[in-house]
Amino acid sequence: MSWNHDGTDQANAVGVEYLDVLYSYALVLTRNQAEAADLVQETYVRAMQAMERLAADSNIKGWLLTILRNVWLNQVRRRRHGPQMIQTEFGDDVASSLIEPSKGPHDLYVSKIEVEQVRAAIQELPLQFREVILLREYEDLSYQEIAIVLGCPIGTVMSRLGRARAKLRSLLPATDSRR
């Protein structure tokens, strides 16, 4: 394990900063809160073991997301019956971050309904589309970073993202602002 110049444990600094990001991604992959929590824990165990090999200028967020995805893929491969598909909801912190606090009660209600509709529509997408939407729209990763995490070419990322957005548009009800 490496130490920063101020004597703090580098692994602890990484753990706190990206926990929510990893958990959100794990939920997209597993669709199960307990499995997502286990997946994040296993990701940090693997990251701690490899921390000293990480270059100082590395993209830690992308590195952790890649580890998480690889751990998940390995778990799926080991299961004979495939991953358990259980419908879950994201934590309230995701919904809260999408709602402006200056809105009135009606606007807050409408925003909450819209967030729930988007969340439900995302859950209906195939995994490859859920992944790319989460990484781009919620985690704000670049196409290059997403390509690294998913282990595919940038063109594939762009194609999946375009198809995922089109599918979301077809799944979401039209509102007055879209007409």
- Under 8 Å between Cβ of 35 and 26: yes
Whole-number pLDDT of residue 50: 87
Predicted confidence band of residue 163 (pLDDT cuts 50, 70, 90)? very high
Q: Tens digits of per-residue pLDDT, 39-64?
A: 999 999 999 888 888 888 888 899 99
The pLDDT > 90 percentage for the chain reads 37
CATH 3.30.70.260 is held by the domain 92-174: no
**Mean pLDDT over residues 109-124, rounded?**
82
Segments making up each domain of the chain, as ranges:
10-78, 92-174
Written in H, E and C, the secondary structure of the chain is: CCECCCCCEHHHHHHHHHHHHHHHHHHHHHCCHHHHHHHHHHHHHHHHHHHHHCCCCCCHHHHHHHHHHHHHHHHHHHCCCCCCCCCCCCCHHHHHHCCCCCCCHHHHHHHHHHHHHHHHHHHHCCHHHHHHHHHHHHCCCCHHHHHHHHCCCHHHHHHHHHHHHHHHHHHCCCCHHHC
CATH 1.10.1740.10 is held by the domain 10-78: yes
What is the Cα–Cα distance from 176 to 17, expressed in whole angstroms? 38
The pTM of the whole model exceeds 0.75: no
Lowest mean pLDDT segment, chosen from 102-106, 130-134, 137-141, 161-165: 102-106
Q: How far apart are the first and last CA of the chain?
A: 56
